[in-house]
Chains A and B, each alone.
Chain A
Amino acid sequence: QKEVEQNSGPLSVPEGAIASLNCTYSDRGSQSFFWYRQYSGKSPELIMSIYSNGDKEDGRFTAQLNKASQYVSLLIRDSQPSDSATYLCAVNEDSWGKFQFGAGTQVVVTP
């Protein structure tokens, strides 16, 4: 059974602190990795994609990928109340189509 696993949370983070989100995946052949943000009652929207081992930074967000450990993470620096949402990890398992999502981690940024 191919799986994408995340801690469900909620992850409570003080404003201005770093939020650290983790995701593991079971299919060693996975090629592409994504973090989506989903506000309550809204649709998921892409915030980061990563395809090779290492770190990728985009503003306050940093994605980290370790294919050997089958692990991808997301760091949110200087967390803001507007970052309060559910963060979904998605993995493209087949390199050409199917995206598998984790259950999501709820982040709550407290002022």
Chain B
Amino acid sequence: GAGVSQSPRYKVTKRGQDVALRCDPISGHVSLYWYRQALGQGPEFLTYFNYEAQQDKSGLPNDRFSAERPEGSISTLTIQRTEQRDSAMYRCASTSETGTGELFFGEGSRLTVL
């Protein structure tokens, strides 16, 4: 596609359930980033990949959060045993260059944990 595509756009789940958020970056983009954004706050870094390699996962809040990008394209962010505090907008971004390039953001996946 022309832009970064995220799915689902909205997800409502019950506490304790697992959720998987998908990101399809712009074709050919090397780097893929996951951010979490609370209302009124800036994007909070979670993790990023260059190709299929996870370069930095220091922003993942705890071990319930994981991400993968097995073929260097589509990425999945998985949250296990969701908690209410996980409710947020999860944003994916990609860039064609490592480090200094422009981040292109998807529309985000809004997660609500009841």
Contacts and interface: CB of A to CB of B under 8 A. Distances in A.
Interface string A70-107: 00000000000000000010101011111111111000
Contacts, number: 63
B55 A101 contact: no
Given A44-B105, A92-B99, A104-B41, A97 B91 contact: no
A97 B42 contact: no
Interface stretch (B17-25, B43-51, B62-70, B76-84): B43-51
22 contacts: A6-B42, A8-B40, A31-B99, A32-B100, A36-B103, A43-B91, A44-B103, A45-B105, A49-B100, A49-B102, A51-B100, A88-B42, A96-B99, A97-B31, A97-B98, A98-B48, A98-B56, A99-B45, A101-B43, A101-B45, A104-B41, A104-B42
Interface of B: 31, 33, 35, 40-45, 48, 50, 55-56, 91, 98-100, 102-103, 105-108
Given A36-B103, A103-B41, 8 more contacts: A43-B105, A43-B106, A44-B103, A49-B100, A92-B99, A97-B48, A101-B42, A102-B42
